[in-house]
């Protein structure tokens, strides 16, 4: 445990930020799962809607350094490829 006042404050701030980051990551993974389910069901309309939401969440998370920008870009590219594959099948 920290003894210095500023160190105690940093512990509290880190706990708060960790909870915020965890919530953001959880929201991204929830929408990613919904998107993947829509792709598996070959639902183009729902897939496009969820793709926009996932991309938006990932961009905002990458902007605030919750996830790395390259990781967000890689996942966005993969999801775009998945979406295009079901569009071409129809």
What pLDDT score was predicted for residue 1? Answer: 86
Q: What is the pLDDT of residues 9-63, one digit of tens each?
A: 999 999 999 999 999 999 999 999 999 999 999 999 999 999 999 999 999 999 9
Residue 41's CATH number: 1.20.58.110
Token code pair at residue 3: 């003894």
| Residues 49, 51, 56, 61, CA torsion sign | positive
The residue segments making up the domain with residue 9 are 5-89
What pLDDT score was predicted for residue 63? Answer: 97
Q: What is the pLDDT of residues 59-74, one digit of tens each?
A: 999 999 999 999 999 9
* Number of folded domains that form the chain: 1
């Amino acid at each position: 445990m920290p003894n210095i006042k500023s160190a105690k404050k940093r512990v509290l701030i880190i706990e708060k930020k960790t909870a915020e980051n965890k919530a953001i990551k959880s929201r991204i993974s929830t929408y990613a799962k919904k998107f993947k389910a829509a792709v598996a069901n070959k639902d183009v309309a729902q897939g496009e809607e969820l793709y926009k939401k996932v991309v938006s969440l990932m961009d905002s998370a990458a902007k605030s350094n919750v996830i790395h920008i390259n990781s967000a870009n890689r996942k966005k590219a993969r999801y775009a490829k998945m979406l295009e594959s079901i569009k071409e099948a129809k």
